[in-house]
A and B are shown apart, each in its own frame.
Chain A
Amino acid sequence: MTMQCRDARELLDSFIGEELLVETNHELLGHLAACPDCSAELDVRRRIRSGLKQAFRSSPHLQPRPRFTEEVTARLRASIQPARRRWRSRWLPIAASLLVLAGASNYFLRGRPSEVARLAAGDHQNCAVKFALPETPISLKEAAERFDPSYTQLETTPPDLVRTVAGTLHVADRHSCVFGGRRFGHVVFRLDDHLVSVLVTKDESAGASSEADSRQLAWLPRTNGLGMASLHTTGHIVYIVSDLQDSQFRTVAEALAQPASRLAALVAAYDSQTE
């Protein structure tokens, strides 16, 4: 029985998708060879299909950032490494130094934020929140090679997942970016619908900052509606920035600034699982 146009039209999409049985395929091909209308219809459907595919592949809006694949790969690779080795080889020296930096974490200081602090707040808003920086961020590895070796520490510190009583922070991105002419090492965390930035930048004032005594977590005034805290190390300032409410923000900032206690808990948990 000869295939009718109506039947052929119903099969065209399955034909294009190579979903037809061999016999049906053969029958349809016979109809198409004899029917210019259905053949033209097939061309239209193919044109739309290939056009859509091409549009997805060429639309700039739909393409990942240049370093996205590289970053995802790095995070996944890190997640499959043995936990004990990662903690001990990378975390312990960092934890030891940050333990000193954290110091008395309930130390409060209120004052006028410095220009650098305002730039950190601006970077959080324009990079983490809006993706609106004029200069494309680069990987931490590249930033370490070109600008500051210390940025490599941010590839694994803080860890991808930080549990706090306010909720669990998940890393969304790690990179280096520039805002207002200042370069930052930038780790972006997500906490529910909020973003939390850890921003590291060089401290040219060499300990002359007005924001805090060195090596203590300092609470800065909210800037552009953002909660801010800072830590000063030798040669660097670490900012923690987020739109979280004050109480949540303090909980999160303290958790980020106290890796040693968290590390101890994690190592204990790991040991109990492996014994």
Chain B
Amino acid sequence: MQDDAEGRQATWSGFEAEALPHVESLFRTAMWFERDRNEAEDLVQETLKQALESFHRYTPGTNCRAWLMSILHHVRSNRRRAKGRSPLVFEEADLLASTVPFVPPVPEQLTDADLLAALRRIPAQYQVVIVLSDVEELPYKEIATALSIPIGTVMSRLHRGRTLLRQELVRARGQVIPISADPERRRG
């Protein structure tokens, strides 16, 4: 019984030190995708609950934020499936990843609102990888694990998503200037 108590305390101490510092980060990601504070809080709560229950599987010293993000996206994916909504996989759209028409110049002055509004306008599967890569700074491998997709898909979605994001940033400012993505061709 004493061992149980000590084990629980050790688990809690480790969890408190490694996982709880990432609550705000988890919430921001959850809030971005859920768009509802109740849903986001519930998602974070469930994520941390599952993380605590399986904390023995976490390897101390590895990327705990990536591990938590992975759990969060699995929880979210399962919930969407349970609610009858499609999971966050859009293979058909991925086929378009290699057909980026142009990369427009980005306005010099970008506000937070510009960036968030532009990100919101691109398809969800690209938002996810951009948020995990650019905001959460997860490595490709961790993103692939979190979303249960191949690393190649992570890279193609990032490429496509970032291009779409730039297009949206330009469109918002009314500066659509089609320029080839191929710098060799641009130089003539």
Contact = CB atoms under 8 A, between A and B. Distances in A.
Interface of A: 4-6, 9-10, 13-14, 17, 19, 37-38, 44-45, 47-49, 51-59, 61-65, 68-69, 72-73, 75-77, 79-82, 131, 170, 172-173, 190, 195
A76 B42 contact: no
Main secondary structure of the interface of B (DSSP, over half): helix
B41 interface: yes
Interface of B: 4-5, 8, 11-12, 15-16, 20, 23-24, 27-28, 31-32, 37-38, 41-42, 44-45, 48-49, 52, 105-106, 110, 112-113, 115-116, 119, 130-131, 133-135, 137, 139-140, 155, 158-159, 162, 165-166, 169, 181-184, 187
B112 A59 contact: yes
A54 B31 CA distance: 16
B116 A190 contact: no
B183 A38 contact: yes
Nearest to B11: A80
B102 to A, nearest CB: 13
Given A13-B159, A17-B140, A6 B112 contact: no
Given A4-B184, A51-B110, A52-B115, A82 B5 contact: yes
A54 B106 CA distance: 17
Contacts of A47: 106, 110
A53 B28 CA distance: 11
Contacts of A80: 8, 11-12, 52
Contacts of B166: 48
B112 A55 contact: yes
B49 A55 contact: no
B122 to A, nearest CB: 12
Contacts of B139: 17, 19
B44 A131 contact: no
25 contacts: A4-B184, A5-B187, A6-B183, A10-B159, A13-B159, A14-B155, A17-B139, A48-B106, A52-B115, A52-B130, A54-B112, A55-B113, A57-B28, A62-B31, A63-B28, A64-B24, A64-B41, A69-B24, A72-B44, A72-B48, A76-B52, A77-B12, A80-B11, A172-B38, A172-B41
A13, A64, A190 — most chain B CB neighbours (10 Å): A64
A6 B182 contact: yes
B183 to A, nearest CB: 4
A61 B33 CA distance: 12
Contacts of A62: 27-28, 31-32
B183 A52 contact: no
Contact of B183 (A5, A53, A79): A5
